[in-house]
Chain A
């Protein structure tokens, strides 16, 4: 054990000297670089320490209150905006068909209307991989809406991955809430 230390030490010492014999330190000598003319094995130069400042940028604005829209009338099926998924799946269950048909019809009746579909995942797994899984979910929703009559240009599919959980507890029910696509209409995003 001790031998190992000494061997390591000797090795690092040889390495550090680069062939120069170790310079015995004179009594009361100052740090060696101040001795003119004869640089020691380890030249000591005062090294300026440059500060590494980081300029702060704050883009945290107070949140805006949601804009009122007929699309938010609770009696209207158009107020339904979320599609939930099974674990590791982007398959859209049949129960969401009437709701998606209503949204597709709305888009086709309002050619200037735009929609954002946000895909989400639960928190399990890597953030970037989950971002891609959420993207896949959102694109699957868009594909269905286009088949149902919406125009491709009207819909943007994006992913929030696991970054914006609706529910923060670590339960299966919560994970289920977070495996979700949300539909946002013009003025809501």
Chain B
């Protein structure tokens, strides 16, 4: 009997790992405080081209904050609260459960409704409906996962936000836009020359980036919906490291037009260039604080690259990082409290975070070649580029370092991730 249970457990594990084979999640420490949730198949879900509950489950699991409970074995699965045997789900240790329905509408679209139920209290926590076309299945799943996540954790979800990244494949560089889980990727720009440093406009409609299509680094802005591109900075020398101001009106950039790499402000149409720093050192990688008042940046003015902060209005810069001889790529969380950056440790380049008030530093990863950190708009996750098996991959880690996962991007070499903002959509 024991053997049979054992076999059944292995079978179950096998099924679970097959269903989530593309996901690689590692949970340590605080990740143990997970809320057990059962997501049941929605009634009528088989009318959809693929299961929307798979999208919801993958999102919730990837958050590291929710543990999926086995939801099968009951046929038909309840789709209304009156059909739910709460004792059964309590025995399965589910604190919450998700039920729902899918109805095909006469115009070919689908009506998706779901409810989040509190199992111990036998009450409804949330009920929402969406109308969608088959093409919007994943986005709708992400929106449902966002609603569930927010209700259960009190934090805003980021599953329906988007990310940008660059893929290098067979001598081609592609700037791609994908869902936050790396799926549903669309190519915004394909080029034979490198593309680096994508930066989202605060409204999520445009990207600024550096393209080498004219044999040198030029800053462009690119409207995603229309594909319209505009040169922002193409001065003599190199033009790089664009970062949008929170009001969306200007960019901080690095120009070498006056010699050396220095920080400048420039309007998004390329007008009104103002020099911010004036010295012989390298000043690069500007990043606006969320209130738009200061700029974090990398400088080697002290002899090694370190992170500094200065007022947008100018003046003295204050050094922020002191540990180690190489700290670059500063990014600040949306609440302004946490700095994520890359720190060299021997021959390793690792993602680190600093509590800007206490100045406490934490290494978030133990990998070798981390690059380009980017906060999720809720500040709870940091997306970054790293290397696995000799190729570039994207990974995300919770800002406390306890939950890590790799993104599933099917491409040879992936780099330069940038997490997009919340949008009205």
Answer yes or no: are A and B bound together in one complex: yes
Give the B-binding residues of A (Cβ under 8 A): 4-6, 8-9, 11-13, 15-16, 22-29, 31-33, 40, 42, 44-61, 63, 116, 118, 124-129, 131-136, 139, 156-161, 163-164, 189
Residues of A within 8 A of B135 (CB): 51
B33–A4 contact, CB under 8 A?
Answer: yes
User: Known contacts A5-B36, A47-B143, A128-B240: does B189 contact A59 (CB below 8 Å)?
Assistant: yes
A128–B196 contact, CB under 8 A?
Answer: yes
Residues of A within 8 A of B132 (CB): 49
Interface status of B329 (Cβ within 8 A of chain A) = yes
Distance in Å: Cβ of A11 to nearest Cβ of chain B:
7
Other A-B contacts than A133-B282, A157-B256, 5 sampled, CB-CB below 8 A, are: A132-B254, A135-B237, A156-B216, A159-B256, A163-B194
A58–B129 contact, CB under 8 A?
Answer: no
User: Known contacts A125-B344, A164-B194: does B80 contact A8 (CB below 8 Å)?
Assistant: no
A27–B194 contact, CB under 8 A?
Answer: no
Interface size on B, residues (CB 8 A): 86
Distance in Å: Cβ of B119 to nearest Cβ of chain A:
9
Distance in Å: Cβ of A112 to nearest Cβ of chain B:
18
Residues of A within 8 A of B236 (CB): 156
Q: How far is it, in angstroms, between the C-alpha of A27 and the C-alpha of B225 when the chains are bound? A: 45
B225–A54 contact, CB under 8 A?
Answer: yes
A12–B151 contact, CB under 8 A?
Answer: yes
A139–B260 contact, CB under 8 A?
Answer: yes
A48–B190 contact, CB under 8 A?
Answer: no
In the A-B complex, list the 4 residue pairs whose CB atoms are closest, starting with the nearest.
Answer: A55-B227, A132-B261, A163-B194, A54-B186
B212–A163 contact, CB under 8 A?
Answer: yes
Residues of B within 8 A of A46 (CB): 111, 129-131
Question: Which listed residue (A6, A54, A58) contacts B224, Cβ 8 A?
Answer: A54
Interface status of B226 (Cβ within 8 A of chain A) = yes
Residues of A within 8 A of B398 (CB): none
B136–A49 contact, CB under 8 A?
Answer: yes
Residues of A within 8 A of B172 (CB): 60
Distance in Å: Cβ of B276 to nearest Cβ of chain A:
15
A31–B226 contact, CB under 8 A?
Answer: no
A157–B237 contact, CB under 8 A?
Answer: yes
Q: Which residues between 264 and 297 of chain B lie within 8 Å of chain A, taking CB atoms?
A: 282, 284-285
9-residue interface stretch from B5-13, B120-128, B357-365, B404-412 = B120-128
B82–A25 contact, CB under 8 A?
Answer: yes
Distance in Å: Cβ of A51 to nearest Cβ of chain B:
6
B188–A57 contact, CB under 8 A?
Answer: yes
- Select the residue from B172, B217, B238 with max chain A CB neighbours within 10 A: B238
Interface status of B118 (Cβ within 8 A of chain A) = yes
Residues of A within 8 A of B129 (CB): 31, 33, 44-47
